Amino acid sequence: MLKKRICAGALTVSMLAVTLSGCGNVQEQEATEAQETSTVSAGDLSYPIVEEPVTLRVLAGKGNLTEEFDTLKIFQELEELTNVKIEWEYTTSDWDTQKPLLLANGNLPDIFLGGILSDDDVNANADLFLAMNSYLDSYCPNVSTMFEEQPALKGLATLTDGNIYGLPSMWPNTPTTYSTIMINKTWLDNLGLPVPETTEEFYETLKAFRESDPNGNGKQDEIPLTFIGFDDLAGCLELLCPFGVVDSLGGNWLSVTDGQVEYIAVLERFKEAVSWLNQLYSEGLIDQEAFTQDWPEYSAKLMPEGDQIVGAAISWTISGAVGTENADDYIVLPPLKGPYGDQYARQNPEMLGADRNKIVVSADTEYPEVAMRWVDALYDKVTSMQIRYGALGVTIEQNEDGSYEVQPAPEGMDSNTWSWKYGLNTCAPGYAVGLDIIPQPDAQEKLAADEISKAYVKDEYYPLLTIPAEYLDELAILKTDISSYASEQTAQWIVNGGVEEEWDSYLERMNVMGLERMLEIYQTTYDAYRES
């Protein structure tokens, strides 16, 4: 469903249309005049964009904590600058169900904002979206600057037919690595233990956490290690890295070695990693709810009202997981060294540093030039910064040296709420690379953690690529079936064992399900990317 703001008076207008049908000539003349005042000449980059106000419908992804967009200072300033009024609509929790219906019925908004359309959505329905190429030079100086400064971004945005239908975003202060494994340093100190460096030392540390009452409350209530299944951010995929099994993020479980695309869930080392995790689980060293809990349940264990009960966990940042009041008790655990000497961290620069399809314009918009000028206004660097982090004077202050500083959360508000309330955060389109932006403390914390881990990233990875349209339907079926089977079977093995006994039959079923064909499609796409 769409959360839509209905224009007041629409019913009255439709009723009046019957009585005013005899005024057709007057209406046609007014429509013509309105059209003339809403046109934009090529090369005219002045503001306002139009003499008379033009209204565009924008369907946006919006965080639950974010204020209504028309109340945000930056969008109010943009309306005043451009003379373009926005009728905001928002996606809701059933967007994945409603999206194909919307694309099929053709009643599209003028603009999709916030990355709510995937590569597959755009690629498979390219005729529904505006090919932006011919507009960039004449109407979009800010976007053109972005592509000049970041040529790889233009390639990232260009589909296999040579057209650009969606614009990417890129931000400063983005880390190289993804999740953080954290370990309770207070517990280590209480037990006189060093920070573990290998999988074997980690195993012994977790045993000590379980058996030696590190929180000192006289109860065996400690959870040595917890995570959320295979969640890309807080799941156990980081724990496969010591075995040389390093996926490329994004949930596809792909890896690249010597130019060859691999599916990690059929690698021999994957089997060994799963066997090791089963050992931890069977000995009670892994949270017995690790594959059934959700984020609220996970957070409740990491931020209990009483004694701390978690020894090690996985998340984006320590303070974001355990709260600022407990953050000093934990440290970042550098990537563990595995039994073969492997020591890796996961990365995908395109996924972390850039994001595609943050803005897509409908092909049937009545005002394509106006829409592209308005979109370009969002890509002014200072404007982009304010769309993401909040407006100057609200959440951002400019320092005397010209830098911009995102202010810490005020007393009584947590940093997560603060980072979403007045800005679009990760839903934001834009480009702010080159601005000196000092992020709020939790972002600085992530960059500090990244300094520890980024030396261990695997050089090869599967980048964020656009799959050719002719493969999309076939790949969607293959990927859904194979991914579901792999994740379900892997969770079963970690919890109940049996990976050694069932491995061969598992591989056979993978082949029957079309694994070879799936990898062929990914390899073909990757090879074309490398040759381009």
Q: pLDDT by residue (tens digit) across 465-493?
A: 888 888 988 998 999 999 999 999 999 99
Q: Encoding tokens for residue 19?
A: 């009585």
Name residues whose C-beta falls within 8 Å of residue 406's C-beta, 6 or more positions apart in sequence.
Answer: 389, 390, 395, 396, 437, 438, 439, 440, 443
Sheet (strand 111-113) strand order: 2-4, 84-91, 54-60, 111-113, 354-361, 166-170
Residue 441: its pLDDT value, please?
83
User: Checking DSSP bridges between strand 223-225 and strand 310-315, what pairing results, if any?
Assistant: parallel
Identify the H or E element spanning 182. Answer: strand 180-184
Q: At what angle do helices 199-211 and 268-282 cross, to 10 degrees?
A: 20
Res 59 pLDDT > 80? yes
The CA distance from 519 to 44, in Å, is 48
The structure's pTM equals: 0.78
Residue 59's Cβ-side half-sphere holds a number of Cα atoms within 13 Å equal to 22
User: DSSP string spanning 20-77?
Assistant: TGGGHHHHHHHHHHHHHHT---TT---SSS-SS-EEEEEEE---TTSPPGGGSHHHHH
pLDDT, position 38: 55
Composition of the chain by helix, strand, coil, percent to 5: 50, 15, 35
Asked if residue 2 has pLDDT above 90, the reply is no
Task: Output b/e per residue, 164-201; b: 16+ Cβ within 10 A.
Answer: bbbbbbbbebbbbbbbbbbbbbbbbeeeebeebeebee
Cα–Cα distance, 16 to 10 (Å, whole number): 10
pLDDT band (50, 70, 90) for residue 151? confident
Tokens 């953080």 sit on residue:
180
Q: pLDDT > 70: what percent of the chain? A: 93
Q: Report the C-alpha gap between 257 and 526 in whole angstroms.
A: 12
| Helix pair angle (381-389, 368-378), 10° resolution | 80
Predicted local distance difference test score (pLDDT) of residue 354: 78
Percent of the chain with pLDDT over 90: 74
pLDDT one-digit tens code per residue, 193-211: 999 999 999 999 999 999 9
Q: How far apart are CA 367 and CA 74, in angstroms?
A: 22
The chain-wide mean pLDDT, for the chain, equals: 90
Note the pLDDT of residue 152. 81
pLDDT on residue 117 = 95
The residues pairing with 89 across neighbouring beta strands, listed in sequence order, are: 4, 59
